Structure 1
Amino acid sequence: MDGVVIFILVVGVGSTIVLDLWAWLVAKTTGMAGTDWGVVGRWLLDIPKGRLVLDSHPDRSAPGGREKTVGWLFHYLVGLAYAMLILLVWGVDYIADPQVMPVFWVGVVISSLAGLLILMPGLGGGVLGRKLPNQAVIIVYVIIAHIAFAAGQYAFANLVASF
């Protein structure tokens, strides 16, 4: 059981840090901002109030500390959940022998689809970002960012397996 917890923590947090570093690098080199986790926090805090789409939020000010905290916690909890999903679907034997396909399916396919089909619409961008002026660019950005996330999952899974 300790190995499972260690795997989930190391792979979940480590790969999410890789994703954040990738987003930071893209923002610094291209000026294209990544996800604003404070805005995500605002969206999440509005869901219990019946506002499922952020564009219905009456407050247009910058997200505050509580919203940022909720957004960032959610971001890292999702990273942990994806690490857990790998083990739930492929079994705990994956810890000793990481393979590429599970992180491809979880880290690229599932996480990209979640972003494009749940998070993006919730933030007001529409399904697959259809309401955004640069929809194709956003889709490519999401997929490449999640390739970096999956690479982080695989690298950290191999790190755990080496111990």
Structure 2
Amino acid sequence: MNKMIGFSLMVGIGSTLVLDIWGVLLFKMKGITPTNWGMVGRWLMGLRQGEWVATQQNVQSPSLIEKISGWSFHYLVGIAYAVILVLAWGTPFIQSPTLLPIILVGIVLSTFAGLMLFMPAMGVGFCGRKIPNQGNALLMMIIAHTVFALGQYIFALLYASG
């Protein structure tokens, strides 16, 4: 159990950090704005009032608690994907990680979850259909989730070697 917790924390936090560094690099080099996790926190806060879909009506900057909630959610989701790896492929995966599970969880599952759950919840429609230049946004999402999966693999290998 301790190995599963350690693995999940290291791989989840590490790969999410890799994704965030990728986002910063994209912003610095290409001007592509990263996800506003404060707005995600605002959506999370709205769930308590039964607001399942974020509206874009509140244009105020997210509050500190919304930012903390959004960023915490972001890292908890990264940890959850690491937990899924162990639950689906068993504890031997911790000692000997392989690439196929990482691809299935880190790229496929996380991309589909983003397209079919996260985007609709954030008010941009199923598969981001309300986003201007939807094709480019989808491509960037697949690239970002591939970077996330590479982070998962790197941190899984580091954990296995330690």
Pairwise TM-score range, normalised by the shorter structure: over 0.9
TM-score, normalised on structure 1?
0.96
How many residues matched? 162
- Which secondary structure does the structure 2 equivalent of 1:115 belong to? helix
Match for residue 53 of structure 2? 53
Q: Share of identical aligned residues, percent?
A: 47
Distance apart, 1:134 and its partner CA: 1.2
Structure 2: state its 5+ residue gaps: none
Note the 1:64-103 alignment, pairs <5 A.
64-103=63-102
Alignment pair present for 1:149 and 2:148: yes
Moved more, 21-30 or 145-154: 21-30
Partner amino acid, structure 1, of 2:16: T
TM-score, normalised on structure 2?
0.97
Match for residue 140 of structure 1? 139
Partner amino acid, structure 1, of 2:5: V
Backbone CA RMSD of aligned residues: 1.0
Match for residue 128 of structure 1? 127
Distance apart, 1:118 and its partner CA: 1.1
Mapped to 2, the partners of 1:52 and 1:60 lie a distance apart of 18
Structure 1: state its 5+ residue gaps: none
Alignment pair present for 1:39 and 2:32: no
Mapped to 1, the partners of 2:28 and 2:114 lie a distance apart of 22
Moved over 3 A (4+): none
Mapped to 2, the partners of 1:146 and 1:59 lie a distance apart of 28
Distance apart, 1:29 and its partner CA: 1.0
Distance apart, 1:60 and its partner CA: 2.2
